[in-house]
């Protein structure tokens, strides 16, 4: 069974601060996705990374896929209250026909 562990589980920071969320596994994934979910809504796909060592930037968000494709990180610069939400990583392997989701990081950005 492939498991994805996210840390921290909860994070509460002030507006303007930087933060990093981690997603780790002992398994290799062919690709890894990051989603953000707001209360009462479905997860929204933010980014997909597929190459080991790949870095993608989405405005103030920077996503990195580990060289061995077992881990990933999400860094947010100058966090804003609108960044508040549940951040989920999800991995896909070459043979699996479904995504394995991490347990999520609940981020709260205080104004």
Query: In whole angstroms, what is the distance from residue 64 CA to residue 76 CA?
Result: 12
Interface characters, 39-58, with other proteins (x: CB under 8 A): -xxxxxx--x----------
Please count the residues of this chain forming the interface with other proteins, following the rule CB under 8 A: 21
Longest Cα separation, the chain:
44
Q: Are 48 and 58 in contact (CB under 8 A)?
A: no
Name the minimum Å distance from CB 51 to other proteins. Answer: 13
With contacts defined by CB under 8 A, name the span among 12-20, 54-62, 76-84, 93-101 that binds other proteins.
93-101
Selected from 100, 105, 107, 109, the binder of other proteins by CB under 8 A is: 100
Query: In whole angstroms, what is the distance from residue 85 CA to residue 66 CA?
Result: 24
With contacts defined by CB under 8 A, name the span among 17-25, 65-73, 77-85, 88-96 that binds other proteins.
88-96
Residues 53 to 82: which contact other proteins by CB under 8 A? none
Cα torsion 66, 63, 40, 10: sign: positive
Name the minimum Å distance from CB 38 to other proteins. Answer: 11
* Closest residue by Cα to residue 29 from 91, 100, 90, 89: 91
């Amino acid at each position: 069974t492939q498991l994805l562990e996210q840390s921290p589980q909860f994070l509460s920071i002030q507006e303007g601060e930087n933060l990093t969320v981690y997603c780790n596994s002992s398994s290799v994934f062919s690709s890894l996705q990051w989603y953000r979910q707001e209360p009462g809504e479905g997860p929204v796909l933010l980014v997909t990374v597929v190459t080991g060592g790949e870095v993608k930037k989405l405005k103030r968000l920077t996503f990195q896929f580990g060289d061995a494709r077992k881990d990933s990180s999400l860094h947010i610069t100058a966090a804003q209250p609108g960044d508040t939400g549940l951040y989920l990583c999800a991995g896909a392997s070459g043979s699996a026909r479904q995504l394995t989701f991490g347990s999520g990081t609940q981020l709260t950005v205080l104004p």
